[in-house]
Each structure stands twice: as C-alpha cells, then as structure tokens.
Amino acid sequence: MVGIIIVTHVSLGEALVLCAQHIMARDLPNLLQLPVSKADDPDEVVRRACQMISDLDDGSGVLLLTDIYGGTPSNVAQRLVEAGKVEAIAGVNLPMLVRTLSYSHQTLDVVVSKAITGGLEGVLYMLPTTDQE
C-alpha cells in the first residue's frame, strides 16, 4: 500500500488527517503528517521525513502531499523526491487526500494521478441555491 505523508505548515496536516479519518470512518495506518514551523531547521525536518518514509514504505512507495509550492514544507518534500519511489504534490486539500487514500492500494503512479484529479475536481464554484417552495 502506498504510504502518504502530509507535510504542511504547522497544524494543517493534523487537521487534514482528522478530517480524513472522520470521512473515511476507519484507521488510516498508511497516513502520517509532518508539521513544519518557520522555527524548524529544514535539515532536521528532512531527517524526520526520511524516518517516516522508511516507516511507511512497504515497497509500494510514498506520496508526499504538501500545502503551498515554494514554502518550507514543499521545499523539504522536493528534497526527498525519488522518481518512482517517493513522489510529491503541492496544493493538498481534503478532496485530494480522500481520493489519495481511496486509491492507495494501487501503484504509486496511479495514486499520484488520482490525487491530482481529486484535488482539481474538488475545487468548484458554488452557485446560490434557489427556493423551490
């Protein structure tokens, strides 16, 4: 099963994990989150992330989901990318995470594709409702 690590600013990852657990109503043993603060040493964050990757990778690979491209969390994630083994996507949102978890039994390349489409398709402009009384 593909491992998933959410690498985000401060507590965003924790909130996403809690929401995903609520929505999916099951344990998510292949999901971890790594909070990053501006006070953190990026090299230490990379070391913690490497340990998480090692803990999660059963040979299926690991997908890193991060928040804002160019921020410290995404810069850390980018340092860890190994094509076909550890992949990374910036712009994590809840639809992306749920889709990723739903397909995590597939191959890493399929999970990456499903994550991106889940994130994109989860962003919708909502029109006002009309009363039909």
Residue 38 lies in a domain: yes
Q: 73-106: b or e for each residue (b if 16 or more CB lie within 10 Å)?
A: bbbbbeebeeeeebbbbbbbbebbbbbbbebbee
**Which residue type sits at 67?**
D
Residue 130 lies in a domain: no
- Report the CATH number at residue 55: 3.40.50.510
Q: What confidence category does residue 130 fall into, taking pLDDT thresholds of 50, 70 and 90? A: confident
**Which residue type sits at 94?**
L
Residue 131 lies in a domain: no
Residue 125 lies in a domain: no
Residue 127 lies in a domain: no
Instruction: Decide: 74 and 88 in contact? Cβ < 8 Å.
Output: yes
Q: Which tokens is 15 given?
A: 């909130």
**Which residue type sits at 48?**
R
**Which residue type sits at 74?**
S
Structural domains in the chain (count): 1
pLDDT in tens, 82-107: 999 999 999 999 999 999 999 999 99
Residue 21 lies in a domain: yes
Q: In what order do the strands lie in the sheet with 3-9?
A: 31-36, 3-9, 62-66, 86-90
d(CA 99, CA 108): 13
Domain coverage including residue 80:
3-120
pLDDT in tens, 2-46: 999 999 999 999 999 999 999 999 999 999 999 999 999 999 999
Residues composing the chain: 133
Residue 47 pLDDT more than 80?
Answer: yes
In 3D space, the residue among 41, 49, 108 whose CA is nearest the CA of residue 78 turns out to be: 49
d(CA 69, CA 34): 16
Residue 129 lies in a domain: no
pLDDT in tens, 48-74: 999 999 999 999 999 999 999 999 999
pLDDT, position 131:
72
Residue 93 lies in a domain: yes
